[in-house]
Amino acid sequence: MPSETTDYLRPEIASNLGSMELVARFVVEGFITGLHKSPYHGFSVEFAEHRPYLPGDAIRNIDWKLFGRTDRHYIKQFEEETNLKAHIIVDASRSMNYTSNPKRITKYRYATMLAAALAYLLTRQQDAVGLGIFDDELRTFMPARLKQSYLREMLRILQTTEPSHATRTETALRRVAERLTRRGLVIVVSDFLDEPEQILLPLRLMQHAGHEVIAFQILDPAERTLELESADATIVDMETGIEMRTQPYQLQASYQKSVAEFLSSLKDSLLSEGIDYLLLETTTPFDRALLEYLHKRQQMS
Protein backbone atom coordinates (compact mmCIF):
# COMPACT_ATOMS: atom_id res chain seq x y z
CA MET A 1 0.00 0.00 0.00
CA PRO A 2 1.19 3.58 -0.64
CA SER A 3 2.88 5.16 2.37
CA GLU A 4 1.25 8.58 1.85
CA THR A 5 -1.97 9.91 0.38
CA THR A 6 0.06 11.90 -2.16
CA ASP A 7 1.40 8.62 -3.61
CA TYR A 8 -1.97 8.24 -5.37
CA LEU A 9 -1.00 11.17 -7.61
CA ARG A 10 1.29 8.72 -9.41
CA PRO A 11 -0.67 7.09 -12.25
CA GLU A 12 0.77 3.61 -11.80
CA ILE A 13 -0.36 3.55 -8.16
CA ALA A 14 -3.77 5.14 -8.69
CA SER A 15 -4.49 2.66 -11.47
CA ASN A 16 -4.25 -0.24 -9.03
CA LEU A 17 -7.32 1.01 -7.17
CA GLY A 18 -9.54 -0.39 -9.90
CA SER A 19 -12.77 1.46 -9.14
CA MET A 20 -12.92 4.83 -10.88
CA GLU A 21 -14.72 6.29 -7.88
CA LEU A 22 -11.83 5.29 -5.62
CA VAL A 23 -9.32 6.61 -8.15
CA ALA A 24 -11.06 10.00 -8.27
CA ARG A 25 -11.38 10.29 -4.49
CA PHE A 26 -7.84 9.23 -3.64
CA VAL A 27 -6.22 11.34 -6.38
CA VAL A 28 -8.11 14.46 -5.28
CA GLU A 29 -7.42 13.85 -1.59
CA GLY A 30 -3.74 13.29 -2.39
CA PHE A 31 -3.70 16.47 -4.43
CA ILE A 32 -5.28 18.55 -1.65
CA THR A 33 -2.88 17.08 0.92
CA GLY A 34 0.07 17.91 -1.32
CA LEU A 35 -1.28 21.40 -1.99
CA HIS A 36 -1.45 22.16 1.72
CA LYS A 37 2.15 21.00 2.16
CA SER A 38 3.47 22.82 -0.90
CA PRO A 39 4.51 26.42 -1.66
CA TYR A 40 1.51 26.86 -3.99
CA HIS A 41 -0.14 29.66 -2.06
CA GLY A 42 -3.22 31.41 -3.33
CA PHE A 43 -5.06 28.35 -4.62
CA SER A 44 -8.48 27.91 -3.06
CA VAL A 45 -9.78 24.44 -2.39
CA GLU A 46 -12.65 25.34 -0.11
CA PHE A 47 -15.73 23.25 -0.77
CA ALA A 48 -18.72 25.20 0.54
CA GLU A 49 -21.99 23.29 0.21
CA HIS A 50 -24.11 25.97 1.87
CA ARG A 51 -24.53 29.73 1.95
CA PRO A 52 -26.10 31.95 4.63
CA TYR A 53 -29.87 32.42 4.51
CA LEU A 54 -30.94 35.73 2.92
CA PRO A 55 -34.34 37.45 3.06
CA GLY A 56 -36.46 36.13 0.22
CA ASP A 57 -34.92 32.65 0.18
CA ALA A 58 -37.41 29.77 0.27
CA ILE A 59 -37.70 28.41 3.82
CA ARG A 60 -37.98 24.87 2.45
CA ASN A 61 -34.34 25.11 1.30
CA ILE A 62 -32.97 25.72 4.81
CA ASP A 63 -30.74 22.93 6.07
CA TRP A 64 -32.45 22.27 9.42
CA LYS A 65 -29.93 19.64 10.48
CA LEU A 66 -27.15 22.18 10.13
CA PHE A 67 -29.32 24.72 12.01
CA GLY A 68 -29.60 22.23 14.88
CA ARG A 69 -25.81 22.03 15.13
CA THR A 70 -24.95 25.70 14.57
CA ASP A 71 -28.10 27.65 15.52
CA ARG A 72 -27.69 29.50 12.21
CA HIS A 73 -29.76 29.39 9.04
CA TYR A 74 -27.99 28.12 5.92
CA ILE A 75 -29.38 27.42 2.46
CA LYS A 76 -28.39 24.29 0.55
CA GLN A 77 -26.63 25.15 -2.69
CA PHE A 78 -28.33 23.92 -5.84
CA GLU A 79 -27.15 23.50 -9.43
CA GLU A 80 -28.44 26.87 -10.62
CA GLU A 81 -26.36 28.58 -7.93
CA THR A 82 -23.07 27.03 -8.99
CA ASN A 83 -20.25 29.27 -10.15
CA LEU A 84 -19.28 27.28 -13.20
CA LYS A 85 -20.45 24.79 -15.77
CA ALA A 86 -17.60 22.61 -16.97
CA HIS A 87 -17.46 19.86 -19.57
CA ILE A 88 -14.67 17.28 -19.71
CA ILE A 89 -14.22 15.85 -23.20
CA VAL A 90 -12.21 12.61 -23.49
CA ASP A 91 -10.69 11.08 -26.63
CA ALA A 92 -11.56 7.37 -26.90
CA SER A 93 -10.09 6.74 -30.36
CA ARG A 94 -7.95 3.67 -30.99
CA SER A 95 -4.66 5.54 -30.72
CA MET A 96 -5.46 6.24 -27.07
CA ASN A 97 -5.21 2.50 -26.33
CA TYR A 98 -1.43 2.57 -26.76
CA THR A 99 1.28 1.83 -24.25
CA SER A 100 4.92 1.14 -25.08
CA ASN A 101 5.46 -0.94 -21.96
CA PRO A 102 3.14 -3.44 -20.23
CA LYS A 103 4.19 -1.91 -16.90
CA ARG A 104 2.77 1.45 -17.97
CA ILE A 105 -0.87 2.34 -18.29
CA THR A 106 -2.38 3.21 -21.66
CA LYS A 107 -3.05 6.78 -22.68
CA TYR A 108 -6.77 6.12 -22.38
CA ARG A 109 -6.46 4.81 -18.83
CA TYR A 110 -4.48 7.91 -17.89
CA ALA A 111 -7.02 10.17 -19.59
CA THR A 112 -10.01 8.57 -17.86
CA MET A 113 -8.39 8.71 -14.43
CA LEU A 114 -7.52 12.37 -14.96
CA ALA A 115 -11.07 13.08 -16.15
CA ALA A 116 -12.50 11.29 -13.12
CA ALA A 117 -10.32 13.30 -10.73
CA LEU A 118 -11.27 16.57 -12.43
CA ALA A 119 -14.98 15.70 -12.28
CA TYR A 120 -14.69 14.79 -8.59
CA LEU A 121 -12.82 18.03 -7.80
CA LEU A 122 -15.32 20.15 -9.72
CA THR A 123 -18.23 18.53 -7.93
CA ARG A 124 -16.61 19.10 -4.52
CA GLN A 125 -16.22 22.76 -5.43
CA GLN A 126 -19.96 22.90 -6.12
CA ASP A 127 -19.44 23.35 -9.87
CA ALA A 128 -21.63 21.58 -12.40
CA VAL A 129 -19.74 19.10 -14.56
CA GLY A 130 -20.55 17.23 -17.77
CA LEU A 131 -18.80 14.59 -19.86
CA GLY A 132 -18.19 13.95 -23.54
CA ILE A 133 -16.46 10.94 -25.10
CA PHE A 134 -15.45 10.99 -28.76
CA ASP A 135 -13.53 9.16 -31.46
CA ASP A 136 -14.63 9.70 -35.08
CA GLU A 137 -17.93 10.97 -33.67
CA LEU A 138 -19.26 12.29 -30.37
CA ARG A 139 -20.28 8.99 -28.73
CA THR A 140 -21.40 10.23 -25.32
CA PHE A 141 -22.52 13.64 -24.13
CA MET A 142 -23.77 14.41 -20.63
CA PRO A 143 -24.67 18.10 -20.06
CA ALA A 144 -23.17 19.70 -16.97
CA ARG A 145 -25.07 19.08 -13.74
CA LEU A 146 -24.27 19.07 -10.03
CA LYS A 147 -25.55 15.82 -8.56
CA GLN A 148 -23.73 13.00 -6.81
CA SER A 149 -25.72 10.40 -8.73
CA TYR A 150 -24.75 12.15 -11.96
CA LEU A 151 -21.08 12.08 -10.99
CA ARG A 152 -21.29 8.35 -10.26
CA GLU A 153 -22.79 7.76 -13.72
CA MET A 154 -19.96 9.71 -15.32
CA LEU A 155 -17.39 7.67 -13.45
CA ARG A 156 -19.14 4.45 -14.53
CA ILE A 157 -19.01 5.51 -18.19
CA LEU A 158 -15.33 6.44 -17.91
CA GLN A 159 -14.57 3.03 -16.42
CA THR A 160 -16.54 0.95 -18.93
CA THR A 161 -15.90 2.71 -22.26
CA GLU A 162 -13.12 1.25 -24.42
CA PRO A 163 -11.34 2.86 -27.41
CA SER A 164 -12.61 1.31 -30.63
CA HIS A 165 -12.73 3.72 -33.59
CA ALA A 166 -10.42 5.97 -35.60
CA THR A 167 -10.01 9.70 -34.91
CA ARG A 168 -11.89 12.58 -36.53
CA THR A 169 -11.09 15.32 -34.08
CA GLU A 170 -12.67 18.23 -35.92
CA THR A 171 -15.97 16.45 -36.59
CA ALA A 172 -16.34 15.17 -33.03
CA LEU A 173 -15.35 18.40 -31.27
CA ARG A 174 -17.64 20.46 -33.51
CA ARG A 175 -20.48 18.28 -32.24
CA VAL A 176 -19.41 19.16 -28.71
CA ALA A 177 -19.39 22.88 -29.54
CA GLU A 178 -22.92 22.59 -30.93
CA ARG A 179 -24.16 21.02 -27.67
CA LEU A 180 -22.72 23.69 -25.38
CA THR A 181 -25.16 26.44 -24.45
CA ARG A 182 -24.18 28.44 -21.37
CA ARG A 183 -20.62 29.72 -21.37
CA GLY A 184 -18.24 27.77 -19.19
CA LEU A 185 -15.05 25.72 -19.07
CA VAL A 186 -14.24 23.01 -21.61
CA ILE A 187 -11.43 20.57 -20.79
CA VAL A 188 -10.32 18.36 -23.70
CA VAL A 189 -8.16 15.32 -22.89
CA SER A 190 -6.63 13.70 -25.97
CA ASP A 191 -3.39 12.62 -27.60
CA PHE A 192 -4.25 15.11 -30.39
CA LEU A 193 -2.62 12.88 -33.00
CA ASP A 194 -4.30 14.64 -35.88
CA GLU A 195 -3.58 17.50 -38.24
CA PRO A 196 -3.03 20.64 -36.12
CA GLU A 197 -5.69 22.58 -38.02
CA GLN A 198 -8.24 19.82 -37.38
CA ILE A 199 -7.57 20.24 -33.68
CA LEU A 200 -7.44 24.02 -33.67
CA LEU A 201 -10.62 24.76 -35.63
CA PRO A 202 -13.20 23.34 -33.18
CA LEU A 203 -11.31 24.57 -30.09
CA ARG A 204 -11.14 28.04 -31.63
CA LEU A 205 -14.89 27.81 -32.25
CA MET A 206 -15.47 27.08 -28.56
CA GLN A 207 -13.15 29.90 -27.50
CA HIS A 208 -14.86 32.41 -29.78
CA ALA A 209 -18.25 31.35 -28.38
CA GLY A 210 -17.07 32.56 -24.99
CA HIS A 211 -15.92 29.29 -23.43
CA GLU A 212 -12.62 28.93 -21.61
CA VAL A 213 -10.70 25.94 -23.00
CA ILE A 214 -7.93 23.77 -21.58
CA ALA A 215 -6.24 21.20 -23.83
CA PHE A 216 -4.46 18.35 -22.06
CA GLN A 217 -2.35 16.35 -24.50
CA ILE A 218 -1.57 12.81 -23.30
CA LEU A 219 1.35 10.89 -24.81
CA ASP A 220 3.24 7.72 -23.98
CA PRO A 221 6.92 8.55 -23.31
CA ALA A 222 8.04 6.41 -26.28
CA GLU A 223 5.87 8.46 -28.64
CA ARG A 224 8.20 11.41 -28.11
CA THR A 225 11.49 9.51 -28.21
CA LEU A 226 10.95 6.24 -30.15
CA GLU A 227 13.07 4.58 -27.49
CA LEU A 228 12.05 0.93 -27.49
CA GLU A 229 13.52 -1.99 -25.60
CA SER A 230 14.40 -4.18 -28.60
CA ALA A 231 16.79 -3.53 -31.49
CA ASP A 232 14.12 -4.55 -34.00
CA ALA A 233 10.55 -3.38 -33.76
CA THR A 234 7.26 -3.59 -35.62
CA ILE A 235 5.58 -0.20 -35.68
CA VAL A 236 1.79 -0.44 -35.96
CA ASP A 237 -0.54 2.45 -36.81
CA MET A 238 -3.19 2.21 -34.07
CA GLU A 239 -5.80 3.82 -36.34
CA THR A 240 -5.30 1.84 -39.58
CA GLY A 241 -3.45 -1.31 -38.47
CA ILE A 242 -0.67 -0.74 -41.04
CA GLU A 243 2.61 -2.34 -39.89
CA MET A 244 6.24 -1.44 -40.61
CA ARG A 245 9.23 -3.50 -39.51
CA THR A 246 12.23 -1.35 -38.64
CA GLN A 247 15.14 -0.70 -36.32
CA PRO A 248 14.21 2.30 -34.16
CA TYR A 249 17.73 3.72 -33.91
CA GLN A 250 17.74 4.28 -37.69
CA LEU A 251 14.72 6.56 -37.44
CA GLN A 252 15.19 8.05 -34.01
CA ALA A 253 16.80 11.40 -34.81
CA SER A 254 14.43 12.33 -37.64
CA TYR A 255 11.44 11.01 -35.68
CA GLN A 256 12.26 13.05 -32.57
CA LYS A 257 12.74 16.17 -34.73
CA SER A 258 9.36 15.69 -36.43
CA VAL A 259 7.55 15.07 -33.14
CA ALA A 260 9.17 18.10 -31.48
CA GLU A 261 8.13 20.30 -34.41
CA PHE A 262 4.56 18.95 -34.30
CA LEU A 263 4.23 19.51 -30.55
CA SER A 264 5.74 22.98 -30.74
CA SER A 265 3.44 23.98 -33.60
CA LEU A 266 0.36 22.67 -31.81
CA LYS A 267 1.26 24.41 -28.56
CA ASP A 268 2.00 27.73 -30.25
CA SER A 269 -1.23 27.59 -32.26
CA LEU A 270 -3.37 26.90 -29.20
CA LEU A 271 -1.70 29.47 -26.97
CA SER A 272 -2.00 32.12 -29.68
CA GLU A 273 -5.77 31.59 -29.54
CA GLY A 274 -5.85 31.96 -25.75
CA ILE A 275 -6.36 28.23 -25.25
CA ASP A 276 -4.47 26.76 -22.30
CA TYR A 277 -2.27 23.79 -23.19
CA LEU A 278 -0.38 21.23 -21.15
CA LEU A 279 1.54 18.19 -22.40
CA LEU A 280 1.42 15.18 -20.08
CA GLU A 281 3.01 11.76 -20.35
CA THR A 282 1.38 8.65 -18.93
CA THR A 283 4.01 8.67 -16.18
CA THR A 284 3.32 12.30 -15.15
CA PRO A 285 1.75 12.70 -11.66
CA PHE A 286 -1.80 14.03 -11.80
CA ASP A 287 -1.09 17.13 -9.73
CA ARG A 288 0.44 18.83 -12.81
CA ALA A 289 -2.92 18.79 -14.57
CA LEU A 290 -4.97 19.57 -11.46
CA LEU A 291 -2.81 22.63 -10.74
CA GLU A 292 -3.35 23.81 -14.32
CA TYR A 293 -7.10 23.45 -13.82
CA LEU A 294 -7.01 25.38 -10.52
CA HIS A 295 -5.02 28.14 -12.14
CA LYS A 296 -7.63 28.46 -14.91
CA ARG A 297 -10.48 28.20 -12.40
CA GLN A 298 -9.13 31.12 -10.38
CA GLN A 299 -8.68 33.22 -13.51
CA MET A 300 -12.39 32.71 -14.22
CA SER A 301 -13.55 33.69 -10.72
Say whether both 184 and 203 belong to one domain: yes
pLDDT at 180 over 80: yes
Other C-beta atoms lying within 10 Å of the C-beta of residue 269: 17
Say whether both 69 and 91 belong to one domain: no
Say whether both 62 and 84 belong to one domain: no
With CA atoms as reference, report the closest residue to 175 among 148, 205, 217. Answer: 205
Say whether both 121 and 255 belong to one domain: yes
Q: What is the CATH number of the domain that holds 183?
A: 3.40.50.410
d(CA 197, CA 149): 38
Say whether both 275 and 136 belong to one domain: yes
120 lies in which domain range?
Answer: 80-300
d(CA 196, CA 279): 15
Tell me, yes or no, whether 165 lies in a domain: yes
pLDDT at 110 over 70: yes
Say whether both 287 and 226 belong to one domain: yes
For 76, residues 6+ apart whose C-beta sits below 8 A from its C-beta are 49, 50, 61, 62, 63
pTM of the model: 0.81
Tell me, yes or no, whether 284 lies in a domain: yes
CB 269 within 8 A of CB 213: no
Say whether both 65 and 197 belong to one domain: no
Note the pLDDT tens digit of each residue in 7-42.
999 999 999 998 999 999 999 999 988 886 655 444
Say whether both 64 and 90 belong to one domain: no
> Average pLDDT of 187-193?
97
> Average pLDDT of 97-110?
94
Measure the CA dihedral 284/185/61/58, to 10°.
Answer: 160
Is the C-alpha dihedral spanning 101, 173, 193, 245 positive or negative? positive
Q: Which of 59, 77, 95 is the last residue of a domain?
A: 77
**In the chain, how many domains are there?**
2
